[in-house]
Amino acid sequence: MLKVGFTGALRSSVNGHAQVDAQASTIRELLSGLVQRYPDLAEHVEQGIAVALDGEIYRDDWSKPIPDGSTVFLLPRIQGG
Amino acid sequence: MSHDTSYTKQKFKLIGSRVNRPDGIDKVTGRARYGADASAPGQLVGKVLRSPHAHALIKKIDTTKAEKLPGVKAVITSADMPDLTGGNRSMLDILENCMARGRALYDGHAVAAVAAVDEQTARQALKLIKVTYKRLPHVTDVDKAMQPGAPVIHDWVFTSGVDPKPEKASNIVQRNQFGHGDVEAGFAEADVIVEKTFKTEQTHQGYIEPHACLATVGPDGHGDLWVTTQGHFHFRQVCAALIGMDVAKLKVTSSEIGGGFGGKTHVWMEPVALVLARKANRPVKLVMSREEVFKATGPTSSTSVDVKIGAKKNGTITAAAAELRYQGGAFPGIWGMLGAMTSFACYDLKNVQSVGYDVLCNRPKVAAYRAPSAPMAAFGIESTMDLVAEEIGMDPVKFRIKNAAKEGTQASYGPVYGPIGIGPTLKAAQNHPHMKAKLRKNQGRGMACGFWFNFGGQTCTDLNIGVDGTVSLAVGTVDVGGSRASLGLIAAEELGIEYEQVKVHISDTASLGHNDTTEGSRGTFSSGMAAIFAARDAKDELCQRAAKMWDIPVSAVAWKEGKAIAKGKRHNNLAPLTLQEIAAKSPNTGGPIAGHNEVVADGAGVSFASHICDVEVDPETGATKVIRYTVVQDAGKAIHPDYVEGQFQGGAAQGIGWALNEEYIYGDDGLLQNAGFLDYRIPVCSDLPFIDTEILEIPNPNHPYGIRGVGETSIVPPLAAIGNAVSMRLACE
């Protein structure tokens, strides 16, 4: 079981939850499951999203395995200069 | 990441050395080819007509006279750039920013463009285009734009991130809240609370090379674009989509770049050049004037920020909150969100909340500028940190050290940190001789911290070994800050050869797989990772070839210090084979030898810095001069220390300019009043002291060499460091 945290505008797309429980073994599975539960999240996933697993931020590699018990945060995709 | 993490035990031979830069001679002799330095047979000159109004309805554009002018080969308006975006609002925004569609949204917004045989004819043609405007109310101030009754720039913008979603359009694009804990309870526990409001003005990246490109579109529908950019693959995707061209039919080549700092991550005029070239059936060169660069390419946001920090008398922060309002120009952006995310990232806070607002104004579309949005947030937070320290009677550095984030801290923007460097940079700053040096009359000292995320992304690299044993490394990340030298060092280190044997090239979009833009301090981090893996791939092939040359199993071959060696007693008689010897025989052992890698380089590792600044303030005039400046920053591993120090110094210099000299000045008429380097003054050498640097190396466990990005964080602390130094001087008075 994973605890998934949400910040920023993502929180309002999951009915205002700061954290939800989820079951997933990869980032792809996680996002797919969350979008099924919270359809408003789909727009954010489409526009680009970053996933923090135990403090490390992953932007693109959705095949990344998520170890059970990981701390997971979904973040808006960021831009740099 | 799947690679090993033996970086902590590595003994490098070349990494960390200060070799000559490969582009140095070309740049000082004028041979380097920048955006405006390309030419093609039959090339035309492109020019853009821009709005003289801050906000206006475009009732009619009459191009008849311009089209009839001898020498004019094409005139275009938005009618020549139909909406092919299929409902993708952000792409439509890019298209509308390139060419106004019915309304001019800011002073300098493009409304038409021409291609003519020479500059004089092109300029004359612009004068013959008659545009009928109806001026509309405008707003250029972020706080005024948020007020009820402000002119609404887009009727389709309804604030997101608020519940319930508004039914009325406004200039507030989105609200983003970050944080954790209970800030109200935290403030109730505080012995001291400081609340302040800060404003920062809009600044431009100020790159010396203006935007420039040469576009060609043939009758077969294939196109070429030579352009100064930080991301030619991104430019290809955006331009191809906007003008209705298959991605593979558009080849984009990045020129040498004369500065970008985020401003060249965005498409501004390149689709216009391509459409002109297609219409004229001739190559078109489009070069912006400095005035156009200021008026029509992305500066950073102007901001308005409220900060509230509460602390116990023992120095523990009990709660911190900020509301950050960022002006994003005429199109939606994420700048307020980034400001909110970065604001309290340096600190370990039990109760924290930051709320960011992205706000539209009648100004040019805001673009990324080196650690975008972080300097303005840091200005508010770090200035307030000093005020809190003063209230509780604690040294500001000790106060920061006491509250600094560390491994295991939950960042104010959500995730939990791994190994990070804010504590070590603070301690290094505390112990630095600069911090202990005596100040003279009228001088003050300040310090401040800064944070930036860093990121990696999609990367693709080829490493080709010539028959003479020299190596070509083809990368797709544009070299904006010296990455060719660093990547050459990395490839040479991995192969065990001399740096001079490696030549690094920036490939065009037809020659490599997709590479993300050089932004987010990712160039050396991600292409460095790909170069290591490509070199390891090549080493595997070199061992295979050596095995063939020796006629022994490849399992008996290893690569050591640039040579293949045969392992085991049975092969004691075989002398090692150098890379050159194996390469020379490659035609007869299987053909070309190459290594390749494509990777999503994640795990970039966050970056922190602490800066110290001394100023001298003229008591008569208030004129402020920075007299000493020191940057302490974590680089993970400094591949080429000269370039790392250069990045530290460059960011600090830009921050000093931002704090003391630079600002966009808009009149009541909504027009920019200082669109040129005479009136918008970036610091020059004589304005700056020597900027001292101290590189810390806290390896990033997600990179095989421990690298962290270093390009951006150095611009974050200067605004606050200078402000704190001036405040100290005034307090002494």
For residue B2, the model assigns a pLDDT of: 43
Helix (H, G, I), strand (E, B), or coil: what is residue B250? strand
- The single-letter DSSP state of residue B88 is -
Structural domain A2-76, CATH architecture: Roll (3.10)
- Report the relative pairing of strands B212-217 and B284-287 from DSSP bridges: antiparallel
Strand bridging mode B223-227 / B250-254: parallel
Q: Any CB–CB contact under 8 A between A5 and chain B?
A: yes
Determine which helix (DSSP H) or strand (DSSP E) holds A76, and give its type and residue range: strand A71-76
Query: To the nearest whole angstrom, how far is the Cα of A52 from the nearest Cα of chain B?
Result: 6
pLDDT at position B733 is 66
Q: How far apart are CA B692 and CA B326, in angstroms?
A: 32
Q: What residue segments make up the domains of chain A, in order of their start? A: 2-76
Q: How many residues does chain B have?
A: 733
Do A80 and B712 lie within an 8 Å CB cutoff? yes
Using DSSP, state whether A37 is helix, strand or coil. helix
- Cα–Cα distance between B499 and B486 in angstroms, integer? 10
Assess A71–B contact: CB distance below 8 Å, yes or no.
yes
ipTM over the 0.85 cut-off: yes
Give the three-class secondary structure for B540.
helix
Give residues with Cβ within 8 angstroms of B503, minimum separation 6: B22, B470, B471, B472, B473, B488
User: Tokens in use for B108?
Assistant: 């300098």
**For every residue of B295-360, which 3-state class applies, written as one string?**
HHCCCCCCEEEEEEEEECCCCCEEEEEEEEEEECCCCCCCHHHHHHHHCCCCECCCCEEEEEEEEC
Q: Cα B295–B296–B297 angle (5° rounding)?
A: 110
Q: Looking at residue B8, what is its pLDDT?
A: 64
Q: Over the stretch A43-75, which tens digit does the pLDDT of each residue have?
A: 889 888 999 888 778 888 889 999 888 889 998
The tokens of B272 are what? 């216009």
Omega before residue B592 within 30° of 0, cis:
no
Cα–Cα distance, B654 to B136 (Å, whole number): 35
> Shortest CA distance to B263 belongs to which of B46, B458, B519?
B519
CA distance B499 to chain A (A): 29
Number of H helices, E strands in chain B: 20, 26
Chain B residues inside the 8 Å CB shell of A56: 415, 418, 602-603, 702
CB A60 within 8 A of CB B458: yes
Best residue of A11, A61, A62, A79 to probe chain B, by most B CBs closer than 10 Å: A79
At what angle are helices B270-280 and B89-98 packed, to 10 degrees?
Answer: 70
Radius of gyration of chain B (CA): 27
Write down the residue that tokens 């033996």 correspond to.
B6
Q: How far apart are the first and last CA of chain B?
A: 55
Contacts of A71 in chain B (CB under 8 A): 415-416
- Could you state, in chain order, the average pLDDT of each consecutive group of 10 residues for chain B (733 residues)? 56 96 94 97 98 98 98 98 96 98 98 98 98 98 97 96 92 95 98 98 97 97 97 98 97 98 97 98 98 97 98 98 98 96 98 98 98 98 98 97 96 89 95 97 96 94 98 98 96 97 98 97 96 98 98 97 95 95 98 97 92 96 96 96 97 98 97 97 94 95 93 98 91 69
**Is residue B500 left, alpha or beta, with left meaning phi > 0 and alpha meaning psi from -120 to 50?**
alpha
Output the CA torsion A57→B455→B654→B426 (10° steps): 50
- Using the Cα atoms of residue B174, residue B177, residue B183 and residue B187 in order, give the sign of their dihedral: negative
DSSP-based helix, strand, coil % in chain A, nearest 5: 25, 30, 40
Nearest to A59 among B260, B368, B602 (CB): B602
Q: Identify the pLDDT of residue A41.
A: 94
B724 with B619: CB under 8 angstroms? no
Which residues are paired to A21 by β-bridges?
A3
Identify which of B364, B361, B366, B365 has the alpha carbon closest to the alpha carbon of residue B139. B361
In this structure, the number of other CB atoms found within 10 A of the CB of residue B489 comes to 27
Q: In the numeric block, which tokens belong to residue B58?
A: 């475009």
Q: What are chain B's domains?
A: 6-32+456-601 (3.30.365.10)
Q: Give the Cα separation of B50 and B98 in Å (integer).
A: 11
What whole-number distance in Å separates Cα of residue B22 and Cα of residue B19?
9
Helix (H, G, I), strand (E, B) or coil at B514: coil
Q: Which helix (H) or strand (E) holds B634?
A: strand B624-634
B175 C-beta neighbours (distance < 10 Å), count: 21
How close B124 comes to chain A (CA, Å)? 37
Which of A64, A73, A76 comes nearest B334 by C-beta? A76
d(CA B484, CA B511): 17
The answer to whether the CB of B525 falls within 8 A of the CB of B644 is: no
Contacts A–B by Cβ distance under 8 A: 118
